[in-house]
Amino acid sequence: APVQRPPEPTAAVDRSVFDTANPAPSLPSNPQRVPSTEPTAPVLPSATTASLPTLPASNPAAPPPVAESPTAPKGPDVQAVRSFELRAQRERRRSRFVKFMFLALVLVGGAVAAALMFGRDWLFPTQWDPELIPMVDAIQLENDAEFTDPVELRELPAGDYAATTLEITLGDDWASGFPQWRALGLASGTSDAAPIVDAVIAWRPAVYDPDTGVIYRVAGAESSADAESDGDAGADEGSTAVSAAPADDALRLALQQAFADQLGIQPAEVTGEVGILGSTSLREITARAVDRDLLVGSTAMPDVDPEASVPLPLLYEMIMIDVAGDPVISAVDPDPTPVYGDVYPDELLDALVVEHPLAAAAPLPDGAEPIADPAALGPDAWALVWQNRLPDPTTVRLRSLVTADSYQPYLLGGKGCVAASFEAESDIGAGEIVTSLTSWAAATPLDAAPTIAISTADPARVEFTTCDPGAAAEQSVAPTTITSLIERQLDALG
């Protein structure tokens, strides 16, 4: 039977929801629905379908072909791939290195080119100093040859110049005998004292150094022409041990030495026994004197300041190098005539050497360290020592009394000392020697502590020791003894 629906309630009076007189109207609500009891549509039976056929699996699509690289490794070989990558890295590094080296070469080449263009005059002198040009032209005309390169003329401060000149001309160890010189009263002060600096500058205003190929001269030096233009107003200002040599003469000697050096001509090396006449042996001094004479000639005996405080052995060597060359060559008259750079014969080198008997050496004090073996110096060397403090007649008498001598330098407690012995023909002569040496020792500083005694082994032999009193000890030297000694030696040549 049909379901009876309940009657719908009568609707209330219709009101508008926008009615302002009734602000809260009741909205109609949905009616409650009751579930229907009527049967629903019949359910269809589930249909069974037959299973569909299974298709075979399809093959995967082939990848698109890739062009083979000629440089890539072939095959799945991992080692080949790694080798390829390493080779590629090396090639990239090599490429960067080549680029870097090319850039470096460009920069270095530019720097060298700039140095050669703008700094060549400073690095390598390309022009002669105007002061040297007249002398250079004369040397080239005289020898019918040219200098291979210009020679730099460089100035040095006075102290540096003196030290450089002494090392070039006398050797690096020229001052090694200074303590013994002071012990014998032949020097005072230090090897770089102002009187020595002044004497060296006056002796050699310019000098050539074969090691550097440079001519050095003291800063502020004037040429001979400039000095003459200044007049004689300053001729008496200051004094040096020797009269100043003309600057042009020193430059000419230096240029001649440089010219020979560039031609590959070197002075012959000479050795000999070193005594107290100079810082080198008498043979070496003679060789340097002959060298100078062959290059520019010898000079006359210079004027010597009697008040100058210059070591007498040093002053002796400087003067002998300048004055002895021509007298020695003339006296010996060797055949063939010597040429600069040749090995000089012994008769020339030994012209000034006087053989003297060697006396028995004096015993050294306990703790003494000998520097050299005993050697005979001869009467000329000892005359320099005696004449520096004793009257000329006494010196002459000593020369006649001493028939043999011995000289040996040694160290005692760090001080330089000298041991000597003098033999006479009799004990009476030995007594005279003791008396004269006692007078000599009276002028010696106390720190020298000289000893003089007759040998206990031989009453005709006198033993003598003395030590360096130090650089602070005041000792006077007599430079005029040098000129008298040199004149006597040159006169003996005949």
Whether the pLDDT of residue 358 is over 70: the answer is yes
Q: For 357, how many CA atoms within 13 A lie in the half-sphere containing its CB?
A: 10
pLDDT at 223 (0 to 100)? 54
Domain identity same for 403 and 339? no
Whether the pLDDT of residue 86 is over 90: the answer is no
Three-state secondary structure readout of the chain: CCCCCCCCCCCCCCCCCCCCCCCCCCCCCCCCCCCCCCCCCCCCCCCCCCCCCCCCCCCCCCCCCCCCCCCCCCCCCHHHHHHHHHHHHHHHHHHHHHHHHHHHHHHHHHHHHHHHHHCHHHHCCCCCCCCCHHHHHHHHHHHCCCCCCCCEEEEECHHHHHHHHHHHHHCCCHHHHHHHHHHCCCCCCCCCCHHHHHHHHHHCCEEEECCCCEEEEECCCCCHHHHHHCCCCCCCCCCCCECCCCHHHHHHHHHHHHHHHHCCCCCCCCCCCCCCCCCCCHHHHHHHHHHHHHHCCCCCCCCECCCCCCCHHHHHHHHHHHHCHHHHHHHHCCCCCCCCCCCCCHHHHCCCCCCCCECCCCCCCCCCEECCCCECCCHHHHHHHHHCCCCHHHHHHHHHHCCEEEEEEEEECCEEEEEEEEECCCHHHHHHHHHHHHHHHCCCCHHHCCEEEECCCCCCEEEEEEECCCCCCCCCCCCHHHHHHHHHHHHHCC
Contacts of 253 (CB under 8 A, 6+ apart): 206, 208, 292, 295, 296
What integer is the mean pLDDT of 160-179?
A: 94
Whether the pLDDT of residue 395 is over 90: the answer is yes
Domain identity same for 204 and 283? yes
How big is the chain, counted in residues? 494
Contacts of 161 (CB under 8 A, 6+ apart): 155, 200, 201, 216, 217, 218, 219
- The whole-angstrom distance between residue 47's C-alpha and the CA centroid of its chain comes to 118
pLDDT level of residue 1 (50, 70, 90 thresholds): very low
Over the chain, what is the mean pLDDT? 83
Q: Is 234 a domain residue?
A: yes
pLDDT level of residue 470 (50, 70, 90 thresholds): very high
Q: Is 16 a domain residue?
A: no
Domain identity same for 276 and 334? yes
Domain identity same for 376 and 403? yes
Q: Is the C-alpha dihedral spanning 247, 249, 252, 256 positive or negative?
A: negative
Q: What are phi and psi of 135, to 5 degrees?
A: -70, -35
Structure tokens at 244: 């100043």
pLDDT at 82 (0 to 100)? 64
How far is 318 from 255, CA to CA, in rounded Å?
19
CA distances from 202 to 229, 292, 318 (A): 19, 17, 11
Domain limit, last residue, from 349, 370, 402: 349
What integer is the mean pLDDT of 296-304?
A: 93
Domain identity same for 189 and 294? yes
pLDDT at 404 (0 to 100)? 97
Report whether 204 contacts 252 (CB < 8 A). Answer: no
Report whether 465 contacts 413 (CB < 8 A). Answer: no
Whether the pLDDT of residue 54 is over 70: the answer is no
pLDDT at 75 (0 to 100)? 52
What integer is the mean pLDDT of 36-54?
A: 51
Domain identity same for 158 and 279? yes
Domain identity same for 337 and 369? no
Whether the pLDDT of residue 107 is over 60: the answer is yes
pLDDT at 220 (0 to 100)? 77
Closest CA to 314 of 470, 416, 162: 162
What integer is the mean pLDDT of 231-245?
A: 52
pLDDT at 240 (0 to 100)? 61
Domain identity same for 409 and 324? no
What integer is the mean pLDDT of 6-28?
A: 50
How far is 415 from 311, CA to CA, in rounded Å?
18
Domain identity same for 116 and 135? no
Q: Is 27 a domain residue?
A: no
pLDDT at 56 (0 to 100)? 59
What integer is the mean pLDDT of 267-293?
A: 93
Q: Is 490 a domain residue?
A: no
Q: Is 73 a domain residue?
A: no
Q: How many domains does the chain have?
A: 3
pLDDT tens digits, residue range 441-462? 999 999 999 999 999 999 999 9
pLDDT at 38 (0 to 100)? 53
What integer is the mean pLDDT of 394-411?
A: 96
Domain identity same for 313 and 393? no
Report whether 162 contacts 143 (CB < 8 A). Answer: no
Q: Is 489 a domain residue?
A: no
How far is 428 from 62, CA to CA, in rounded Å?
135
Using the structure block, give the residue that is written with the tokens 């028995």: 360
Which letter, b or e, does each residue of 46-76 get, where b requires 16 or more Cβ atoms within 10 Å of its Cβ?
eeeeeeeeeeeeeeeeeeeeeeeeeeeeeee
Domain identity same for 308 and 175? yes
What is the pTM (predicted TM-score) of this model? 0.73
pLDDT tens digits, residue range 342-356? 999 999 999 999 889
Q: Is 7 a domain residue?
A: no
High-pLDDT (> 70) share of the chain, %: 71
Beta bridge partners of 465: 419, 451
Domain limit, last residue, from 124, 150, 178: 124
Structure tokens at 36: 């229907």
Domain of 443 in residue numbering reads as: 354-481
Domain identity same for 163 and 253? yes
How far is 136 from 138, CA to CA, in rounded Å?
5
pLDDT at 141 (0 to 100)? 96
What integer is the mean pLDDT of 279-301?
A: 95
Domain limit, last residue, from 306, 321, 349: 349
How far is 374 from 361, CA to CA, in rounded Å?
6
Report whether 398 contacts 429 (CB < 8 A). Answer: no
How far is 462 from 221, CA to CA, in rounded Å?
50
Whether the pLDDT of residue 32 is over 50: the answer is yes
Q: Is 20 a domain residue?
A: no
